[in-house]
Amino acid sequence: MVFGRRHLFHIVEYSAAPFISAFCAFFFLSFASFYMNHIPSSGSLLLCSFILLILSIFSWFSDIVNEGSFRGNHTLVVRRGLKYGFYLFVVSEIMLFFGFFWAFFHSSYNPTFFLNEQWTPDFILETSWELPFYNTMLLITSGFSVTVAHRYIALGKLYGTAKYIFITVLLGSLFLCLQIFEYNELPLDISNGVFPSTFYMLTGLHGTHVLVGVILLFACFLRLLWKHFTIKHYAGFMFAIWYWHFVDIVWILLFFIVYVSIFQ
């Protein structure tokens, strides 16, 4: 209450979920590095930390959904603040990718004697362009399907919205499967030099974003089935759509900048 009236802002209650999720994420990444370095028993620890991370995030998101959908704490002013916060989050992601693109361009236009003064390095063999092209078509199609889902929810057609969200989730999951298959087929190793390092950082970071986008859209799909969204209240779904379009744009840049340097 402010001056005898109920204020329009949301005072967040104390919660241990962010603290626990941060610790679970730290342990998950630590055990992932152990697993990649073939440390014994790291696989089981990685699986346990991943399960704990998913459970902690689910608990955290459940609190947010309860605050916004059932307790009415996400007023118009609060949703506007969440929107601005998401804008800043996307800007931070843009700057993160910009840094790796800068490293890629710097090394490609100024190859030093460590790279035998050529780009790409001579140890990179000829690779196929088919998998990256298929992945590009998958993400472009998923961008279309998630846009149709946005149109349907704006019209109040929740069944059509759920159907196209599910299609988008399937397309994103197929993209991740093809990306893993491509990693197994590529004659590159991240420790071979600048080009493989920047390549795996850019594509791997993008793959992580696709995974997060798939999780967000699947959560929106479940919330649609549980009737959490209405024609006037679907801010969480809107953020997932923006995030997915950001993923699409980044992958198109990766395809035309990074992969073309391999195929040339």
pLDDT in tens, 61-103: 888 778 777 777 777 788 888 889 899 999 999 999 999 888 8
Instruction: Verify that 15 and 104 share a domain, yes or no.
Output: no
pLDDT in tens, 188-200: 777 667 777 888 8
The number of beta carbons lying within 10 Å of the beta carbon of residue 165 is 29
Which residues are within 8 A (CB) of 50 and not within 5 positions of it... i.e. 6 or more apart?
28
pLDDT at 3: 44
| CATH code: domain of residue 174 | 1.20.120.80
pLDDT at 95: 93
Does any domain span residue 80?
no
Burial (Cβ within 10 Å: 0-12, 13-18, ≥19) of residue 62: exposed
pLDDT at 1: 45
pLDDT tier at 262 (50, 70, 90 boundaries)? low
DSSP assignment of 38-71, as one string?
T-TTHHHHHHHHHHHHHHHHHHHHHHHHIIIIIS
Q: Select, from the ranges 49-63, 124-138, 166-180, the one with the highest average predicted confidence (pLDDT).
A: 166-180
Name beta bridge partners: 2.
5
pLDDT in tens, 152-168: 998 888 889 999 999 99
- Please tell me the total count of domains within the chain: 2
pLDDT tier at 113 (50, 70, 90 boundaries)? low
pLDDT at 12: 72
Instruction: Verify that 165 and 246 share a domain, yes or no.
Output: yes
Instruction: Verify that 92 and 70 share a domain, yes or no.
Output: no
pLDDT at 13: 77
Instruction: Verify that 214 and 235 share a domain, yes or no.
Output: yes
| CATH code: domain of residue 13 | 1.10.287.70
Which residues are within 8 A (CB) of 83 and not within 5 positions of it... i.e. 6 or more apart?
235
Instruction: Verify that 201 and 251 share a domain, yes or no.
Output: yes
pLDDT at 2: 46
Pick from 46, 74, 102: which residue ends a domain? 74
- The 3-state DSSP class for residue 2 equals strand
What residues make up the domain containing 30? 1-74
pLDDT at 171: 96
Does any domain span residue 79?
no
Instruction: Verify that 69 and 182 share a domain, yes or no.
Output: no
| Whole-number Å distance between alpha carbons of 49 and 54 | 9
Residue with tokens 């440390």: 39
Instruction: Verify that 91 and 52 share a domain, yes or no.
Output: no
Pick from 20, 45, 74: which residue ends a domain? 74
pLDDT in tens, 126-135: 556 778 889 9
Least trusted range by pLDDT, from 21-25, 40-44, 219-223: 40-44
pLDDT at 217: 94
CB contact at 8 A, 193 and 115: yes
Does any domain span residue 145?
yes
- Predicted confidence (pLDDT) at residue 174 exceeds the cutoff of 60: yes
pLDDT at 68: 72
Does any domain span residue 243?
yes
- Predicted confidence (pLDDT) at residue 137 exceeds the cutoff of 70: yes
Instruction: Verify that 42 and 93 share a domain, yes or no.
Output: no
The DSSP call for residue 5 is B
Instruction: Verify that 141 and 239 share a domain, yes or no.
Output: yes
Pick from 41, 74, 107: which residue ends a domain? 74
Token pair in block for residue 181: 């298959």
Token pair in block for residue 209: 């974003």
- Predicted confidence (pLDDT) at residue 241 exceeds the cutoff of 70: yes
| Whole-number Å distance between alpha carbons of 138 and 106 | 30
Instruction: Verify that 255 and 222 share a domain, yes or no.
Output: yes
pLDDT tier at 147 (50, 70, 90 boundaries)? very high
CB contact at 8 A, 245 and 207: no
CA nearest to 210, candidates 253, 259, 256, 177? 177
pLDDT at 4: 44
Instruction: Verify that 120 and 237 share a domain, yes or no.
Output: yes
**Radius of gyration (Cα) for the chain, nearest Å?**
21
pLDDT tier at 121 (50, 70, 90 boundaries)? low
Does any domain span residue 189?
yes
